[in-house]
Chain A
Amino acid sequence: MSKLISRRKFIGQACCSAVGSTALFSTLLNLRMANTAAAQSVPAGSDYKALVCLFFAGGCDSYNMLLPYGDAEYAEYAAIRGDLALSKANGEILPLLLNQSIGKDLGIHSGMPEIQALCNAGNAAWIANVGTLVQPTTKEQYQAESVILPLGLYSHADQIRQWQTSVPQDTSSVGWGGRTADLLHSLNNNENISMNISIAGNNTWQSGNEVFEYVVSPGGSTGRSRYEETWGVNPAMSSAIDSQLTHDYQNLFVNTFAKKGKGAMDAHAEFSSAIDESATLETAFPEDNYLADQLRMVAQTIQARSALGMNRQTFFVQVGGWDHHDEVLGTMGTMLPAVSQAVDAFYSALAEINAQDNVTLFTASDFGRTLTSNGAGSDHAWGGNHLIVGGAVNGGQVYGTYPDLYEGNLQDTGRGRLIPTTSVDAYFGELALWFGVSPQDLPTVLPNVTNFYTPTAAGGPLGFMNLS
């Protein structure tokens, strides 16, 4: 016997059915994610570790940051760089004292004496000619178009995203820091505040499938305007906001929005309280230095790690303005000293709170730049040189392969755009292993890593971190 129902009732039941399906689907999804998470290996213990990504937005001309110093290699460098070359004779290059010879004498920009000292003391290292790769790539393969190349090679937005996702062959917006946090956030004892904290706004690197970045400013967490004021109508307004955000709404989206809003306000209160109650750092950070302001907040947050219940954290800081199609020498001459002084102060602050062995700072950028000049500056290229700083770094060394720099060399795709000799997967794989990602889980964090490294191999992909 068929049962007829009214249109109004049909619509009502259909809606209930839809909500039920949504709930069921959501439950199944959560179960699947829980099973996935359970299958991952999470390290035991309560040791603290933090990764700090310092991003040079715009594409740093890093062959004027780490560059040849020996006579023969300097001549090669000077020939290809032309009007962009730093002058060795005028003292514009500081020599590096490497622990082991790499067959080339290298130096760094003279505006970075603090980094030179950190490197010579064994607390900083360099990665040479690193960049986005899907698989190992030769010049012949590049020219024959017989290899999968990163999408949007030489473009800002694509390369920024790929440096942060480490998946150059697609347009995913999930970062490897986010995927790392998806695996390891359960090591922390805080469900209100993300383990991924950005001092430089939203970014791809820290965006995971479950964990997202918590954004603060160099001055700390920013709360709702006038919410904490105790004069006039502000308390009544704050009560009204509380009432709205804690109400149980029938509409799923409204309810979720309210709960997220309340969670953000609670996180702000907790974060601010932890920062305010932690001792003020005595290390002097340079004034009028935006990177130093960001790194000071990172150090302050690390100092408050116990109050925040954190055992694993990532931080994202950024300095823009590196797209030097003109004025390379002049602008880098002012920007690199600011970086060097800020990073040095940060390391000193870590030493002050005895966390220098628990925190590793690494640099990243859109791409390296052309070795040849456009007449005024350098243009977009591919592989570049990067810096790692921390007490757990096997410092005083240059890792990877520092390439030949003559025009038309085996890595040169034209105009001194160098095919990376080390992939970002190897670079980040080393950092992820140190951070606590298990070798079995490394391909989850870095899907292309097995094209460059066997995760079960003894030692890290490059050897620049003390993994013991």
Chain B
Amino acid sequence: MKHSLWIAVAIVALIAGVWFYDTRHTAPPAPEPTRRLKPPPPSFYDPSEPDPRNPTSPLARTLNRPDHSAQRDLEIVYTLLFQTRQFVKDLPSRPLGTNAEFTAVLTGDNSLQLAAIPPNHPAVNESGELTDRWGTPFLFHPVSSSETTLRSAGPDQQLFTDDDLVYPEE
């Protein structure tokens, strides 16, 4: 009797082992991993923390904040650039083409040292470029010395795709 019990236990264990082996080797393949986007950087000020760094530009604090739209971010940058141009009259003599060149002006590298955006704003990356809420540098498009349009690459972080955001809207 005791011998039969051991035989039964062995048979059950064998069946369970075969079933487990079979299950593992017939499971459908795991789906292809999707392209990993860079995680969104903390590109906005946390409103719960007081920010002594830029008392003169409250608009800059709202850049990339999650409680408003990404389109609003473009409008904010556009407005800050417009306001800077109102005060810094010699900007047309300054060569401005790349994001880093515009960001330098916006963060105080201008004849008045007027910083519309503080240089240590979380949206300014290590290359000195102003980034959107997904961490991609904005595209500054100089139409004239007094007008620059803006483009964000959007959630896919690729410029000139369908999810891009443009300001002023085309």
Contact partner of B144 among A149, A157, A415, CB < 8 A? A157
The answer to whether B97 and A377 touch across the interface, beta carbons within 8 angstroms, is: no
Per-position 1/0 for B131-170, Cβ under 8 A of A = 0000000010111110110000000001110000000000
Asked whether any CB of chain B lies closer than 8 Å to the CB of A156, the reply is yes
The answer to whether B159 and A151 touch across the interface, beta carbons within 8 angstroms, is: no
Asked whether any CB of chain B lies closer than 8 Å to the CB of A417, the reply is yes
Q: Taking the nearest CB of chain A, how far is it from the CB of B139, in angstroms?
A: 7
Q: Please name all residues of chain B whose beta carbon is closer than 8 Å to the beta carbon of A155 when the two chains form the complex.
A: 96, 142-145, 148
Q: Taking the nearest CB of chain A, how far is it from the CB of B125, in angstroms?
A: 16
Asked whether any CB of chain B lies closer than 8 Å to the CB of A325, the reply is yes
Q: Taking the nearest CB of chain A, how far is it from the CB of B92, in angstroms?
A: 5
Asked whether any CB of chain A lies closer than 8 Å to the CB of B48, the reply is no
A36–B48 alpha-carbon span in the complex (Å) = 71
The answer to whether B97 and A379 touch across the interface, beta carbons within 8 angstroms, is: yes
Q: Taking the nearest CB of chain A, how far is it from the CB of B141, in angstroms?
A: 7
Instruction: State whether A374 and B159 are in contact (beta carbons under 8 Å apart), knowing that A152-B145, A156-B142 are contacts in the complex.
Output: yes
The answer to whether B158 and A153 touch across the interface, beta carbons within 8 angstroms, is: no
Most buried by B among A155, A413, A417: A155
The answer to whether A414 and B98 touch across the interface, beta carbons within 8 angstroms, is: yes
Asked whether any CB of chain B lies closer than 8 Å to the CB of A359, the reply is no
The answer to whether B98 and A415 touch across the interface, beta carbons within 8 angstroms, is: yes
The answer to whether A152 and B159 touch across the interface, beta carbons within 8 angstroms, is: no
Please name the residue on chain A nearest to B153 by beta carbon: A375
Q: Taking the nearest CB of chain B, how far is it from the CB of A269, in angstroms?
A: 39
The answer to whether B95 and A154 touch across the interface, beta carbons within 8 angstroms, is: yes
Instruction: State whether A376 and B160 are in contact (beta carbons under 8 Å apart), knowing that A152-B142, A325-B139 are contacts in the complex.
Output: yes
Instruction: State whether A154 and B159 are in contact (beta carbons under 8 Å apart), knowing that A325-B139, A325-B141, A380-B142 are contacts in the complex.
Output: no
- Count A interface residues, CB 8 Å: 25
Q: Please name all residues of chain A whose beta carbon is closer than 8 Å to the beta carbon of B147 when the two chains form the complex.
A: 157
- Count B interface residues, CB 8 Å: 17
The answer to whether A153 and B95 touch across the interface, beta carbons within 8 angstroms, is: yes
Asked whether any CB of chain B lies closer than 8 Å to the CB of A114, the reply is no
Q: Please name all residues of chain B whose beta carbon is closer than 8 Å to the beta carbon of A193 when the two chains form the complex.
A: none
A379–B139 alpha-carbon span in the complex (Å) = 10
Instruction: State whether A381 and B93 are in contact (beta carbons under 8 Å apart), knowing that A151-B145, A152-B144, A325-B139 are contacts in the complex.
Output: no
A379–B144 alpha-carbon span in the complex (Å) = 14
Asked whether any CB of chain B lies closer than 8 Å to the CB of A326, the reply is yes
A153–B91 alpha-carbon span in the complex (Å) = 11
A379–B97 alpha-carbon span in the complex (Å) = 8
Contact partner of A151 among B93, B139, B148, B158, CB < 8 A? B93
Per-position 1/0 for B80-120, Cβ under 8 A of A = 00000000000011011110000000000000000000000
Q: Which residues 363-379 in A have Cβ within 8 Å of B in the complex?
A: 374-377, 379
A153–B97 alpha-carbon span in the complex (Å) = 8
Q: Taking the nearest CB of chain B, how far is it from the CB of A144, in angstroms?
A: 13
The answer to whether A156 and B160 touch across the interface, beta carbons within 8 angstroms, is: no
Q: Which residues 132-158 in A have Cβ within 8 Å of B in the complex?
A: 142, 148-149, 151-158
Instruction: State whether A417 and B97 are in contact (beta carbons under 8 Å apart), knowing that A157-B144, A375-B158, A376-B159 are contacts in the complex.
Output: yes
A374–B139 alpha-carbon span in the complex (Å) = 9
A179–B133 alpha-carbon span in the complex (Å) = 50
A148–B92 alpha-carbon span in the complex (Å) = 12
Q: Which residues 408-434 in A have Cβ within 8 Å of B in the complex?
A: 413-415, 417
Q: Taking the nearest CB of chain B, how far is it from the CB of A61, in angstroms?
A: 15
The answer to whether B144 and A158 touch across the interface, beta carbons within 8 angstroms, is: yes
Please name the residue on chain B nearest to A381 by beta carbon: B97
Q: Please name all residues of chain B whose beta carbon is closer than 8 Å to the beta carbon of A325 when the two chains form the complex.
A: 139, 141, 159-160
Q: Please name all residues of chain A whose beta carbon is closer than 8 Å to the beta carbon of B95 when the two chains form the complex.
A: 142, 149, 153-154, 413
A377–B147 alpha-carbon span in the complex (Å) = 21
Please name the residue on chain B nearest to A153 by beta carbon: B95
Most buried by A among B95, B158, B159: B95
Q: Please name all residues of chain B whose beta carbon is closer than 8 Å to the beta carbon of A149 when the two chains form the complex.
A: 93, 95
Q: Please name all residues of chain B whose beta carbon is closer than 8 Å to the beta carbon of A142 when the two chains form the complex.
A: 95
Q: Please name all residues of chain A whose beta carbon is closer than 8 Å to the beta carbon of B142 when the two chains form the complex.
A: 152, 154-156, 380
Please name the residue on chain B nearest to A157 by beta carbon: B144
Q: Please name all residues of chain B whose beta carbon is closer than 8 Å to the beta carbon of A380 when the two chains form the complex.
A: 97, 141-142
A153–B96 alpha-carbon span in the complex (Å) = 7
9 more contacts with CB within 8 A, not counting A154-B97, A158-B144, A326-B160, are A149-B95, A152-B92, A154-B142, A155-B145, A156-B142, A157-B143, A325-B141, A327-B160, A380-B97
Give me the 7 closest cross-chain CB pairs, A-B, nearest first: A152-B145, A154-B97, A157-B144, A326-B160, A155-B142, A153-B95, A376-B160
| 22 contacting pairs across A/B (C-beta < 8 A) | A142-B95, A148-B93, A149-B93, A151-B145, A152-B92, A153-B97, A155-B144, A156-B144, A157-B147, A158-B92, A325-B160, A326-B159, A375-B158, A376-B159, A376-B160, A379-B97, A379-B98, A380-B97, A381-B97, A413-B95, A414-B98, A415-B98
